[in-house]
Amino acid sequence: MFRAPIRKLTTAATRQSLKIGLIPADGIGKEVIPAARAAIVALGNDIPKPEFIDLNAGWETFTRTGVALPEETVRVLREECDCALFGSVSSPSRKVTGYSSPIVALRKELDLYANIRPVTSVAPEAGQQPAVDLIVVRENTECLYVKQEQQTIGENGKEARATRLITERASRRIGQMAFELAAARPRKHLTVIHKSNVLSITDGLFRETVRAVPRLPEVNGKYDDVTIMEQLVDSAVYRLFREPEVFDVMVAPNLYGDIISDAAAALVGSLGLIPSVNAGDNFVMGEPVHGSAPDIEGKGIANPIASIRSAALMLRHLGYTKGADRLDLAVDQVIREGKYLTPDLKGKSTTREVLDAVLAKI
């Protein structure tokens, strides 16, 4: 599992307590976020005393109140929390008046411009090199996720259009985050993902801006040892399945990064294993990559590992490396032993049984 620091937001010694916002949201989020909380508590003195603040957001919140992301949730995150964990959201596939995805809104409200998604297999033996070891760095605020859509009636009937936004500022800062991650890894290799052979203006701006990051005056040679490659998004998906070992750090616009990281999860067995953090310059929020999984909601078989790994990423981002390592190593041991695995990994264990196994290793 990726264990280099991302970007420390504070010095660990400055905190007496760690205030963590918990937003389970919908579906299995309500089952896996409590598991992440239990794993954090189990760390004891390796982190400041955790204080958890329960917060609301999601489709179920919308159906109760008419608001998917309450202003109070945003206020508490900004004013009272040091970090947060988000579960999953059940956004409808049809347009619902007044509803918009709360996770997309949170990323914009808190300026969490980077979604960092490590995809790493567990080596057969401790200390061995994993077969898959890569990070997808996804720009988190732009692309088609600005959700500027309109539908009109034309000579061909209904016509639907969506605005795709790529800016130099967003591309530059996600590029800097990606270079920073690549420079901290042994291979020091960065692949820029785009489709500028077709979208020459939007993807062309993203590609050119990211590639120019090492030449920024403030960088001052910091990334000179990072090898830069690029790959068209469609061929990148193909190569992920054929030869994942060619990738180290991949940086992509919002939509491409979302698709690539979900596809990469198939290489390691399940979306239930893949963590992420939504990171900005002032806040970090862990989020398992899987969705709300309504087909298994309430059955007690959701995989808690992605949420526990997301908690580890969140802690590492804040500088609590020892605690983060304990979480990751405990998960590695449970997966390697194979005795307690949920059905998505072809096991028969419950969420609680997997959590208990991880807690025992911690």
| Catalytic residue, candidates 234, 238, 346, 348 | 234
Give me the torsion for CA of 149, 24, 303, 291, rounded to 10°: -10
Q: What's the CA gap between 34 and 308, in Å, rounded?
A: 10
User: Strands 83-88 and 17-25: what pairing?
Assistant: parallel
Q: What's the CA gap between 13 and 19, in Å, rounded?
A: 15
User: Per residue in 82-110, is it b (16+ CB within 10 Å) or e — as a string?
Assistant: bbbbbbbbbbeeeeeeebebbbbbbbebb
Catalytic status, residue 262: yes
Q: 289 near 28, Cβ under 8 Å?
A: no
Kindly state the tokens that stand for 220.
């001052």
Catalytic status, residue 82: no
Q: Report which of 35, 30, 31 is spatially closest to residue 331, judged by C-alpha positions.
A: 35
* Residue 172 CB neighbour total at 10 angstroms: 16
| Catalytic residue, candidates 113, 145, 256, 320 | 145
| Catalytic residue, candidates 19, 46, 113, 195 | 195
| Catalytic residue, candidates 99, 108, 111, 262 | 262
The DSSP letter of residue 43 is T
Catalytic status, residue 26: no
Three-state DSSP class for 103? Answer: helix
| Catalytic residue, candidates 46, 203, 248, 258 | 258
Q: 285 near 53, Cβ under 8 Å?
A: no
Three-state DSSP class for 352? Answer: helix
Q: Which residue has the tokens 């403030």?
A: 218
Catalytic status, residue 238: no
Catalytic status, residue 111: no
**First CA to last CA across the chain, in angstroms?**
16
Q: 268 near 121, Cβ under 8 Å?
A: yes
List the beta strands (DSSP E) in 132-260.
133-139, 149-154, 157-162, 189-194, 227-232, 249-252
Catalytic positions: 145, 195, 234, 258, 262
